[in-house]
Structure 1
Amino acid sequence: MNYEFFIAKRIIKAKQYKSSVSATIIKIAIAAIAIGIVMMMVAIATGMGLQKTIQEKVAAFNGHIQISNFDNNDSEVSLMPLDSKQAFYPEFTDVSGIKHIQAVATKAGIIRTEKTFEGVLAKGVGADYNWDAFKDFLKEGRLPDVAGKRENREVLISAYLARRLELKLGDTFKSLFLKENTSEIPNERTFEIVGIYESGFQKFDANVMLVDIRHIQRMNKWNADQVGNFEVFLDDFDMIQDKGDEIYSVIPPNLDTQSVTSKFPFIFEWISLFDVNIFLIIGIIIIVGGINMITALLVLILDRTPMIGILKSLGSSDWSIRKIFLYNAAYLIAIGLFWGNVIGISCIWLQRTFGFLKFPNPEQYHTAIIPTHIEVWHILALNVGTLVLCVLMLLIPSYIITKITPVKAIKFQ
């Protein structure tokens, strides 16, 4: 053990240290670090939680990457059929990191009731459809059974559409779907509401209803092997660009790929701004915490001026004495980090478990409950970064020790 660390340890354990004039200021500095780390952890957890929630909701309706014919021209409606007998379906083995692939088809229509009507986008799904996200969205009833041998008229509709159309669970309604030749009589289908979902994402809730894909195939006069497009889900959303390029390179040349980030750029550009806010908050809080620690360090130095004079008279170098106080300050920062982590992690866990904090305007953030998500490495990086940056900020004020002369310091005692 070097002697600087030994002296710093003795100072920390000394009773006079805990009851000295500087004790109150030191406690304030520790509290500032603790509060700062709590605020930074909450900022990261809520920012990333909101990003992840929005990403998952957009992907639930579209998949991470869509494979379709070039002729569809980015239309929300399936125009040209695509043969489902592809080498990459139903198992996409040529590219790693793919969790699931499913075939879907969409068709625009109108829901008509006795009192009103609403435009709708009927999304046809089959037995391979991944319902995991909609299990979380499900508000009433159950999910449609689309795995039977025959097509059924069960439909999953949003709470938004149900309110607008004054429909409830168990009701039936008629929908009209235009044919390619608009002069012909539209296709009419009767559906029964077996489930009502609410994703909180009004862009999709306002028009998407999920039906058996065989309805779309029959109305479009497709055979059972023809679908509108494929939706691909990845293990890691951050790899969406690379995986999109890989998928494009292995599929037939007549097919195109489109990621959700390129399909809805305005959404992902908006949530990317959360990163800027997070870094800005972290930067401001670290600066404030560093200033508090600078104040505490200066008070410690003034409180221990006689000790500094004695150590200098005994031959200690300025840097050696500065290290004593830097060790002391690092200890105080560590205490603040400890309590900050305990409180911060507890707050994030409570919010994630019970969701007691909610947005006053959920329609703007596409979710009612404030979501949280934080990784272990985020916590470690935040702690290490705060400790290192605060200690570095203390190097300059600790330079005041070099200006203290032994004679004046001992007289000061």
Structure 2
Amino acid sequence: MKAEFFIARRLKLSGNSESNAPSLNVAMIGIILAIVIMILSVVIVTGFKSEVMHKIYSLDSHLKVSNAGLGIDDNYSTVDAHDVFNAVLGDPTLKPRIESMSLIAEKPAILKTDDDFKGIVYRGVDQYYDWRYLKDNLVAGRVPNCKDGADNREIIISKYMAQQLQLHVGDKIFTYFIDNKVKMRRSIIVGIYNTDFDAFDQTYIVGNISLLQSVNNWSSFTGNYVGINLNQLGSLDNDCYRVYTDLCKSMVAHNSPTLYQVTQIKNNNVSYFTWLGMLDMNVAIILILMIIVSSFTLIAALLMIVLERIKMVGMLKAMGATNRSISRIFIYLTSKLIVKSVIIGNVVGIGLALLQQHFHIVRLNADAYYMSYVPISIDIPTLLLLNVGIIVISYLTLLAPSHIVSTIKPTSTMQFE
């Protein structure tokens, strides 16, 4: 056993250790609070980003195949489902990556009751549409039946719209579509959803695409775009390029005059992903501030330990101990403070995170934050990396102030009380 470690261990076992000093206990509490704040910052922001991204990926298509024409009106911005489905599903390397494909049409409209009205976007979908997220967020009723031949009057509306227009499941409502002339359709509300995502809840009702096809005088295989959802999101750019390549090959092979474009969800929702990216900067600022606070606390703790043992430093120097050896003794002593702080900080931080994750104790205003409670995402590798960083930075912080012992002279310490 090295002499430095032996001396530090004996000092800890002597009963007059640094843990008995109230000032050092305060220092340890400061470090623990910094660690708790860092852990909670990471798990909360990670959870918030994960929850918002899950909403975006669930409510919008991962890839959209649309007409690259001028888009002067609906008839100039349509796609043929047969062309797109055959081109994409005919690629044997791409097909296994596709979770669902759906022909979708969207059109602005007005919902009108006897007493009120609201502007909305009618999203018409076919039988292959992925309803899972909306089903999970239904507060009443069911999703529409969008199979061929089904009643195309069925729609679901958001809880926000239902409250604003005082509507319930089973109510019938007039939907007005305005082109060159007003076209009216009567819809039946079969379900009410609530995603807490204002951009969707305040805008969209969802129903059978055949209703919009009849309004626009389209065929049964015509829509505004084909939505493609993937089972893996790690290579969106590559999959987007492959879909576009398949469509170009199909267009050339069939001498098709239609030029398609393929866009991915990150480009279709730039503002949201930019905003989520800025949250990482906020976390980085919090981590830097907490590291600075804990570093100053550690330096102060080390200085207090040195001052408590200043006579011992003089005696060790008089006995021939080097400054480096004495510095190691104090680093070993302070390491106890670091280890205890990290352990307690992790127990408290992760404990609070688990309580919030399971019981949703802290609530949020869903209108402002897109969710009704503070989300938590505990990623073990991230927390391990955070703890390793805390420990490494803590020990690096101790290197400079530990050399204060080099300024202590044996002759002067004999008179120090």
**TM (normalized to structure 1)?**
0.88
**Structure 2 SS opposite 1:87:** helix
Aligned to 1:282: 287
Match of 1:139 in 2: 139
Match of 1:409 in 2: 413
Superposed counterparts of 1:123-272, under 5 Å = 123-147=123-147, 149-178=149-178, 182-183=180-181, 186=183, 188-234=184-230, 239-252=235-248, 254-272=259-277
8 Å contact kept, 1:330–1:387: no
Q: Which moved more, 1:146-155 or 1:26-35?
A: 146-155
Q: Which moved more, 1:288-297 or 1:365-374?
A: 365-374
What amino acid sits opposite 1:113 in the alignment? T
How far apart, CA to CA, are the structure 1 residues paired with 2:74 and 2:35?
45
Cα distance in 1 for residues equivalent to 2:73 and 2:341: 55
Q: CA RMSD in A?
A: 2.8
SS at match of 2:87: coil
Deviation (angstroms), 1:67 = 1.9
One-letter amino acid matched to 1:156: I
Which deviates further from its counterpart, 11-20 or 35-44? 11-20
Label 1:383 to 1:224 Cα distance change in 2 as closer, same or farther (>3 A): same
Picking from 328, 350, 359, the partner of 1:354 is 359
Q: Provide the secondary structure at the position in 2 that maps to 1:111.
A: strand
SS of equivalent to 1:383 = helix
What CA deviation, in whole Å up to 9, does each residue of 1:321-340 have, x standing for no partner?
21222222233112111111
- Determine if the alignment matches structure 1 residue 293 to structure 2 residue 298: yes
Q: Tell me which amino acid in the other structure corresponds to 1:294.
A: I
Q: Which residue of 1 aligns with 2:2?
A: 2
Instruction: Measure the CA separation in 1 of the matches of 2:116 and 2:33.
Output: 54
Which shifted more, 276-285 or 203-212?
A: 203-212
- In structure 2, what residue type is equivalent to 1:135? K
Q: Which amino acid aligns with 1:375?
A: D
Match of 2:50 among 52, 74, 84: 52
Matched AA of 1:298: L
Q: Measured at CA, do residues 314 and 268 of structure 1 come closer, stay the same or move farther in structure 2, by a change above 3 Å?
A: same
- Written as runs of structure 1 = structure 2, the 5 A alignment for 1:366-381 is 366-381=370-385
Question: Using the alignment, how far apart are the partners of 1:77 and 1:303 within structure 2?
Answer: 84
Instruction: Please give the per-residue CA displacement for 1:253-281, whole angstroms capped at 9, x wherever unaligned.
Output: 63212223322322222222211111101
For residues 93-120 of structure 1, what are the alpha-carbon distances to aligned partners after superposition, in whole Å with 9 as ceiling and x for unaligned?
4288655443322222221211122222
Distance 1:77 1:166 in 2: 35
User: Counterpart of 1:213 in structure 2: which amino acid?
Assistant: I
Cα shift at 1:289: 0.8
CA distance in structure 1 between the aligned counterparts of 2:102 and 2:400, rounded to whole angstroms: 60
Q: Quick check: 1:61 aligned with 2:65?
A: no
The equivalent of 1:398 in structure 2 is: 402
Report the counterpart of residue 256 of structure 2 in structure 1.
none
User: 1:148 and 1:325, CA in 2 relative to 1: closer, same or farther beyond 3 A?
Assistant: farther
Pairs aligned (count): 406
Q: Residue type of the partner of 1:193?
A: I
Taking only the aligned residue pairs, the percentage that are identical comes to: 29
Partner Cα separation in structure 1 for residue 76 and residue 48 of structure 2: 31
Q: Once the 2 structures are TM-superposed, how far is the Cα of residue 92 of structure 1 from its aligned partner?
A: 7.9
Work out which of the residue numbers 361, 368, 373 in structure 2 matches 1:364.
Answer: 368
Contact 1:77 1:106 in 2 (8 A): no
SS of the residue aligned with 1:121? Answer: strand
Deviation digits for residues 103-155 of structure 1 (CA, Å, limit 9, x no counterpart): 32222222121112222211122332222222332222222233465244321
Q: In structure 2, do the counterparts of structure 1 residues 351 and 298 end up closer, same or farther at CA, with 3 Å as the change threshold?
A: same
Unpaired runs of at least 5, structure 2? 252-258
SS at match of 2:275: helix
SS across alignment from 2:143: coil
Q: Which amino acid aligns with 2:139?
A: K
* AA in 2 matched with 1:172: K
3-state secondary structure, aligned to 1:88? helix
Aligned partner of 1:103 in structure 2 is 103
Question: Take 2:281 and 2:62, find their aligned partners in 1: how far apart are those partners?
Answer: 24
Deviates more, 1:126-135 or 1:32-41: 126-135
Compared CA separation, residues 141 and 17, structure 1 to 2 (3 A): same
Distance 1:302 1:77, change over 3 A: farther
CA distance in 2, matches of 1:147, 1:379: 47
**Counterparts of 2:157 and 2:92, CA distance in 1:** 30
In 2: Cα distance, 1:328 partner to 1:251 partner: 68
Rate the CA distance shift 1:399–1:162 in 2: closer, same or farther, 3 A: same
Identify which of 299, 302, 322 aligns with 1:317. Answer: 322
Paired position in structure 2 for 1:303:
308
Contact 1:76 1:106 in 2 (8 A): no
User: Could you say what secondary structure the match of 1:233 adopts?
Assistant: strand
Letter in 1 for 2:411: V
Shift, 1:241, TM fit: 4.2
8 Å Cα contact 1:151/1:215 also seen in 2: no
